[in-house]
Structure 1
Amino acid sequence: MYNAFSDNNQIGVVSSFSELINLHFQGDMNAICWHRNSLGDFKEIVEKIELKENITEISIADLLALQLSEKGCQARERILEDIQLLADFGASPSLNLLKSYERDDELDFISTDVYSFHVDRSPIGTDTFLCTYYGAASDILSNDQVEQKILIPEIRDKLKELHDGPEAEFESFLEEYYFDLHYQPKPDAKPVNLGVGHLWRLAVDHPAQQVLPCVHRAPVENNELRLLLIC
């Protein structure tokens, strides 16, 4: 199978949900894509759902209540199938209509919101699954194209000033406030956009993980709503 992701060592490409969940992360590969053609009119769903706040969670009942065209029904079926597949696998998928995420602008030298390149962490063995059905899609970067922000000298010095506590507790402070999860792209970094309609599985930082966690970020929405399934 050849597609835009096939030549990227970071990404494994599969053609079914079974392959998506059973392919093992290894080496540089810490992202797996179930590559699919877009099916149906997801814009119709977005236009018929009421945005109640910046992030509105959509239930299965909400979806089923929509009066849709044939193409809208196709799109709804795709979403419902994905939710069922993930639920049967043991995940807890959430379908969200997004205007924007909350911004972290408290500190001018480091950001810890999802628009910053970051990794996910879990105390248990798990992965992040996501699919953008409509709107801007997330980006990922290979681990050799980023630098952990807490290792950049000028940022680290400012974090030490912010901590203002015993040196022995500094690393715990970085973890407690999630500073250690965020990364700075190197000057020649080339982000890969995850595209619309594909279901992705991204490696998470946890004790049993055999590969480096996948560095990713949410896109800037530019006043366009996003329809995103994530767990």
Structure 2
Amino acid sequence: MNNIFSASSQIGLASTFSDLVNTDFKGEINALCWYRNLDGDFNEIVGQLRIKENITEVYPEDLIALQLSDKGNIARNIILNDLELLTDFGASPSLNLLKCYERDDEFDFISTDVYSFHVDRSPIATDTFLCTYHGSASDIISNSEAEQKILIPEIRAKLKELHNGPSEEFEIFLKENYFDLHYQVHANVEPTNLGVGHLWRLAVDHPKQQVLPCIHRAPLENEGEYRLLLIC
């Protein structure tokens, strides 16, 4: 089971939920995976849910109301259990049925949407948890495989033109507009796909973090296929 992720020195493996939440990030490890081969028919759940907009939050009562086969019921119980585990841990998980995220195409030289490789930032000590139950899964890369876009000279020059203000306020401008969170991947880098069914914990940029934040991106969705994603 470890072959998929063992080539990446940034990934630690957990065998239980307790391991996932209690293992400290250290060194290069800024992503932890509770690797699971889930049983159940998650496609049946997706087929019965109704998407209201590009992102529709699905609540436990929505899942409970579905009339499912035995396989569908197994999948539902897995999702409900994951939601309960994370809630009891103190997180605020959200289950989303996704058609697509909003695109940022305002500038042709830099993007700040979730399809761009980026890190998450928080003012408090927290982590990002996510699990894809159905559809395309996110990618991660190690921090040595990318460069902050704001440090690339040609991009930085264009951002300074865009800022058009006092130089001492430039760094504030970059943070306020989230430009500093986005990364350019080096040539010939093969991202690690997070796969379906595994519950991940990714390091976030916050004042107490002991490791570099995990660089990740949302996947391009498959045509005509919704994603079912737990995230918090």
Q: Which amino acid aligns with 1:39?
A: D
Q: 1:227: which partner in 2?
A: 228
Match of 1:182 in 2: 182
* Letter in structure 1 aligned against 2:228: L
* Alignment map for 1:16-165 (pairs within 5 Å): 16-165=16-165
Matches within 5 A, 1:201-212: 201-212=201-212
Helix, strand or coil for the counterpart of 2:2?
Answer: coil
Q: Evaluate the alpha carbon distance shift between residue 16 and residue 3 of structure 1 in structure 2; reply closer, same or farther with a 3 A threshold.
A: farther
Cα-to-partner distance string for 1:64-100 (whole Å, 9 max, x where unaligned): 0000000000000000000000000000000000000
On the 8 A contact 1:6/1:13 being kept in 2, the answer is no
Tell me the SS of whatever aligns to 1:140: strand
Question: Which amino acid letter does the alignment assign opposite residue 159 of structure 2?
Answer: L
CA distance in 2, matches of 1:124, 1:14: 24
CA distance in 2, matches of 1:7, 1:145: 14
Amino acid at match of 1:76: R
Please give the TM-score of this superposition, normalised by the length of structure 2.
0.98
The answer to whether the 8 Å contact 1:163/1:173 transfers is yes
Alpha-carbon displacement from aligned partner over 1:90-143 (angstroms, at most 9, x marks no partner): 000000000000000011100000000000000000000000000000000000
- In structure 1, list runs of 5 or more residues that go unmatched: none
C-alpha separation in 1, matches of 2:43 and 2:89 = 28
3-state DSSP class of the match of 1:144? helix
Q: In the aligned structure 2, how far is the partner of 1:150 from the partner of 1:38?
A: 40
Task: With the length of structure 1 as denominator, give the TM-score of the two structures.
Answer: 0.99
Q: Helix, strand or coil: the match of 2:56?
A: strand
Offset of 1:188 from its aligned partner?
A: 2.3
Q: Is the 8 A contact 2:135 2:222 kept in 1?
A: no
Distance in 2 separating the partners of 1:201 and 1:179: 23
Q: Is the 8 A contact 1:145 1:188 kept in 2?
A: no
Superposed CA RMSD in Å reads 0.8
> C-alpha deviations, 1:25-82, integer Å up to 9, x for none?
0000000000000220000000000010000000000000000000000000000000
Contact 1:37 1:197 in 2 (8 A): yes
| Shift of residue 2, structure 1, vs aligned partner | 3.2
Q: SS where residue 131 of structure 1 aligns?
A: strand
Percent of aligned pairs sharing the same letter: 71
Q: State the 1:3 CA deviation.
A: 3.5
> Does structure 1 retain, via aligned residues, the 8 Å contact 2:147–2:185?
yes
Per the TM alignment, residue 190 of structure 1 is displaced from its structure 2 partner at its CA by 1.6
Indicate conservation of the 8 Å contact 2:118/2:181, yes or no: yes
What does residue 191 of structure 2 align with?
Answer: 191
